[in-house]
């Protein structure tokens, strides 16, 4: 089964609104990464948050991590049509194992 | 090159034929990963190479799947006797090394269609 599960599976918002996506995982992790995928092609790394961090920012992105709840959230503020994509969280179980990706949240931003 | 490249971008084949997919990682990246992504699904890990260490093949779905990597350069993923359920996008990624805090850089993928 998937280590990370994103929620919701799909999200549709108006341009300018904020988009929040959640990721839950099952076992302890060292770090969690968020990736973006356009049109079913290659993924692009957005941000990494380590297990000892609670929040990170990068431009319009804000990521939180709650290790007690085994969950993370990705907030995109002031969304734009160009933010339309699928967003995946990826977790690791230890420093030596490949990342495990969730099924993703499909975000549609309507202009 | 500037990024990870994959070829071909699209491949249509008949059931039972063998296919070979190619990945050129970013120069200097010692770790290389292959993933499979079925339509509307997440990424399914297939295999991972780290330098000259034995590859982690734990994700390969059957013995019809195999992959090779020459040193720290090109990798090929081979699917023998293709089946319709092999239809998917095959993504390759590379990272500086195996440590999971390193960002993975993805290629554009190869879309495989098995008729």
Which band of pLDDT confidence, cut at 50, 70 and 90, is reported for residue A1? Answer: very low
* Least CB–CB distance from A43: residue in B98, B100, B106: B106
**A40, pLDDT greater than 80:** no
Chain A CB within 8 Å of residue B1 CB: no
Q: pLDDT tens digit string along B98-107? A: 776 778 999 9
* Residue B63 reports pLDDT greater than 50: yes
Question: Which 3 state secondary structure label does DSSP give B85?
Answer: helix
Residue-wise pLDDT tens digits, B6-52: 999 999 999 999 999 999 999 999 999 999 999 888 899 999 998 88
**Interface touch B101/A50, C-beta < 8 Å:** yes
Nearest to residue A91, comparing CAs of A35, A53, A42?
Answer: A35
- For residues A10-33, give the mean pLDDT: 93
**A41, A48, A104 member nearest B42 (Cβ):** A104
**Alpha-carbon gap, residue B101 to B70, rounded angstroms:** 25
Burial letters A46-65, b for 16+ CB under 10 A, else e: bbbbeeeeeeeeeeebbbbb
């Amino acid at each position: 089964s998937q280590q990370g599960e994103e929620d919701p599976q799909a999200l549709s918002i108006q341009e300018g609104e904020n988009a929040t996506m959640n990721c839950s995982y099952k076992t302890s992790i060292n770090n969690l990464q968020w990736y973006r995928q356009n049109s079913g092609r290659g993924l692009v790394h957005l941000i990494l948050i380590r297990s000892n961090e609670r929040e990170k920012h990068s431009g319009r992105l804000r990521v939180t991590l709650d290790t007690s709840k085994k969950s993370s959230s990705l907030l995109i503020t002031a969304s734009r049509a160009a933010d339309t994509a699928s967003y995946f969280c990826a977790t690791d179980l230890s420093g030596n194992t490949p990342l495990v990706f969730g099924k993703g949240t499909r975000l549609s931003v309507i202009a | 090159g500037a990024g990870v490249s994959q070829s071909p971008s699209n491949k249509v084949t008949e059931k039972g034929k063998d296919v070979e997919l190619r990945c050129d990682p970013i120069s200097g990246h010692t770790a290389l990963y292959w993933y499979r992504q079925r339509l509307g699904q997440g990424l399914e890990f297939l295999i991972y190479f780290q330098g000259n260490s034995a590859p982690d093949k734990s994700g390969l779905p059957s013995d019809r799947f195999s992959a090779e990597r020459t040193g720290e350069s090109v990798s090929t993923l081979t699917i023998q006797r293709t089946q319709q359920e092999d239809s998917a996008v095959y993504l390759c990624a590379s990272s500086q090394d195996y440590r999971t805090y390193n960002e993975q850089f993805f290629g554009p993928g190869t879309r495989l269609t098995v008729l």
